[in-house]
Copies of this chain bind each other. A is one copy, B any other.
Amino acid sequence: MKISEAARKSGLSIDTIRFYEKSGLVPHVSRGVDGHRRFSPDTIDWLVLLASLRATGMPMRAMRAFAELYAQGDATIRARRQTLLDHAERLKTMQRDLDHCAALLDKKLGIYRDMLGE
């Protein structure tokens, strides 16, 4: 399928997909006779995963390292698993940041409520 559909299905923008490919985050993107990119279902899955990793703050360096492992095939599965485990740890930290911020907002909102006498 073409890039617009890949963007729709992955939630990444067309520009971001091209940028990621250029940056080595998306291996094995072939071209049609028209010179346009063609995305396989596996590559779409990969883009979906990248979108999720990016939305949760994985740096591009780490995504590139992960992509290089992915491109090398099954021998790298342990390393890839470790990457995902590490990211899962980061998610927990972000979780705590969100909770902490939510608590602070509640506190501030309470102060505003008092000041407004409501």
Contacts and interface: CB of A to CB of B under 8 A. Distances in A.
Copy count, this protein chain? 2
Interface stretch (A14-22, A24-32, A35-43, A95-103): A95-103
A96 B48 CA distance: 16
A63 to B, nearest CB: 13
Interface string A73-109: 0100110110011011001001101101110110011
A62 interface: no
A113 B78 CA distance: 9
Interface of A: 48-49, 52-53, 55-56, 74, 77-78, 80-81, 84-85, 87-88, 91, 94-95, 97-98, 100-102, 104-105, 108-109, 112-113, 115-116
**Secondary structure of the A contact surface, majority rule:** helix
A20 to B, nearest CB: 17
A35 B112 CA distance: 35
A49 to B, nearest CB: 7
Nearest to A108: B84
A12 to B, nearest CB: 14
Q: Which 6 A-B pairs have the closest CB atoms?
A: A81-B112, A52-B101, A56-B101, A55-B97, A52-B104, A84-B105
